[in-house]
């Protein structure tokens, strides 16, 4: 029996998923936050994780990245975030599949079934006494488990996937490091291969499994050395010839440039038209101070704009999550109620939950309308006397169910009708 771990903060959605998937024959584990989900993943053997992106104590992206460091368990992300950027980010983090809320239960079942069908695929590679288990990232050589770094593991996996082939430095850089190898030192490949040889070769000085060709070392090194000599000679020659001329020209040009720039900056800071003035001593120092002031003003403006952008982005994300979660619940309950094998008690239970989610959705929409009216100064507040007992009880009821699930006791006593 396959085990599915559901990490979802919304209790109604979590319960609906548990009810539906357990009916398909899966063993279900549930967690309401990242901490609980992390603990269940480490202590149980789950085959697939249904992961929500927005969690009360973290986010699904971070948890996915943490899991991927040591496990290839299937991860299907369920989230209210439906932008292309979020989906790309999730897939880059190692998510196997991605579904936006609200979603179809039938489609979710099909995707889970497809992912779990891949369990039987080959997860290990072996060659010349070396066995690499891709599911656990474990390497065994001569009946001993090797401790490899992340780069060494990637190198060995690449070599085992291409046995008997000559791989160029550019191919290895593109596969293991940067896409085109621009930001990696040319000796990086050789250094990491030598480290890998020490761990898998019986005699690293006379390797049998990982070998360089003469073309890779001698020929390429000679070409690189010859090319470097030509470059250095050219640079020195050009520098000697043009250095003096350029220095004289640059001195006169910069002197004039500083004068013109100072006048412009002064006028810009004061808001006045640019006026011609004589060059004064200490001009370079003054110019530096004025440029610094302009930079500070620009940085403050950019920082403020970025902060406002993040606030708007966060607001939109939260609104999307708050709206789509009730919609996902309602859609899931509707699909459950369409099944003909439900007894009266179960149908009544999910009808009540659907009603609760509808009321929650109505409350969210009304709150959004009020926010819009407040922004437009359409809504006016009036001070009046009112009892606070009902307000307090309504507030307590909103959190009472969640507190009970977390075993947090809430004690209430008699509250008289007080007026402020």
Strand pairing report for 3-7 and 27-31 = parallel
Residues, the chain: 420
Structure tokens at 10: 């919304």
Strands in 74-79's sheet, in edge-to-edge order, are 27-31, 3-7, 48-52, 74-79, 97-100
> Nearest Cα to 168, choosing from 190, 201, 199?
190
> What would the mean pLDDT of 19-34 be, rounded to a whole number?
91
* Cβ–Cβ under 8 Å, residues 29 and 46: yes
Structural class in CATH, domain 129-208: mainly alpha
Structure tokens at 198: 């020490």
CATH code, residues 3-120 = 3.40.50.2300
Packing angle between helix 188-200 and helix 150-161, nearest 10 degrees?
80
pLDDT tops 50 at residue 142: yes
Output DSSP code: residue 271: T
**Which spans in 1-118 are helix H?**
11-22, 34-43, 60-68, 84-93, 105-116
All structural domains of the chain with their residue ranges:
3-120, 129-208, 382-420
Output DSSP code: residue 119: G
pLDDT tens per residue across span 261-307: 666 666 556 655 545 444 444 555 565 556 557 756 766 877 788 88
In this chain, the answer to whether the domains covering 3-120 and 129-208 adopt an identical fold is no
pLDDT tens per residue across span 83-128: 778 888 888 888 889 888 888 888 999 999 998 887 755 466 767 7
Mean pLDDT check: name the lowest of 10-14, 169-173, 394-398: 394-398
Locate tokens 């996937």: which residue? 161
pLDDT tens per residue across span 358-386: 888 888 888 877 777 777 776 677 787 77
Residues 57, 360, 356: CA angle, nearest 5 degrees:
105
Per-residue pLDDT at 158: 83
Max CA pair span of the chain: 96
Distance of CA 384 to the CA centre of its chain: 48
Mean pLDDT check: name the lowest of 166-170, 198-202, 357-361: 166-170
Half-sphere exposure of 325 (CA within 13 A, CB side): 22
């Amino acid at each position: 029996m396959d085990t599915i771990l559901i990490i979802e903060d919304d209790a109604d959605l979590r319960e609906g998923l548990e009810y539906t998937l357990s009916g398909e024959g899966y063993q279900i584990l549930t967690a309401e936050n990242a901490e609980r989900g992390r603990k269940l993943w480490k202590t149980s053997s789950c085959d697939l994780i249904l992961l929500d992106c927005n969690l009360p104590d973290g986010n699904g992206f971070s948890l996915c990245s943490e899991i991927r460091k040591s496990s290839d368990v299937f991860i299907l992300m369920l989230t209210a975030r439906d932008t292309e950027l979020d989906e790309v980010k999730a897939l880059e983090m190692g998510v196997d599949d991605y579904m936006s809320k609200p979603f179809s239960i039938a489609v979710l079942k099909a995707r889970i079934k497809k992912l779990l069908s891949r369990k039987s695929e080959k997860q290990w590679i072996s060659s010349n006494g070396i066995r690499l288990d891709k599911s656990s990232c474990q390497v065994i050589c001569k009946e001993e488990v090797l401790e490899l770094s992340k780069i060494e593991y990637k190198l060995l996996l690449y070599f085992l996937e291409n046995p008997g082939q000559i791989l160029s430095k550019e191919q290895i850089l593109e596969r293991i490091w940067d896409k085109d190898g621009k930001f990696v030192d040319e000796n990086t490949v050789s250094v990491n291969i030598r480290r890998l040889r020490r761990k898998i070769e019986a005699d690293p000085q006379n390797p049998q499994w990982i070998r360089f060709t003469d073309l890779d070392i001698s020929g390429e090194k000679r070409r690189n050395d010859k090319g470097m000599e030509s470059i250095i000679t050219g640079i020195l020659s050009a520098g000697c010839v043009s250095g003096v001329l350029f220095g004289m020209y640059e001195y006169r040009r910069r002197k004039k440039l500083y004068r013109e720039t100072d006048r412009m900056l002064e006028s810009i800071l004061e808001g006045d038209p640019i006026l011609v003035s004589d060059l004064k001593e200490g001009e370079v120092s003054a110019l530096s101070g004025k440029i610094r002031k302009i930079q500070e003003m620009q940085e403050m403006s950019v920082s403020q704009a970025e902060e406002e952008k993040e606030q708007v982005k966060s607001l939109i994300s939260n609104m999307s999550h708050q709206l789509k979660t009730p919609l996902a619940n309602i859609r899931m309950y509707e699909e459950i109620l369409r099944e003909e094998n439900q007894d009266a008690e179960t149908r009544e239970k999910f009808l009540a939950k659907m009603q609760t989610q509808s009321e929650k959705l109505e409350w969210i929409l009304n709150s959004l309308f009020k926010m819009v009216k407040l922004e437009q100064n359409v809504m006016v507040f009036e001070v009046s006397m009112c009892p606070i007992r009902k307000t307090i009880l309504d507030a307590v009821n909103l959190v009472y169910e969640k507190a009970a699930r977390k075993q947090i006791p809430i004690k209430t006593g008699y509250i008289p009708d007080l007026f402020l």
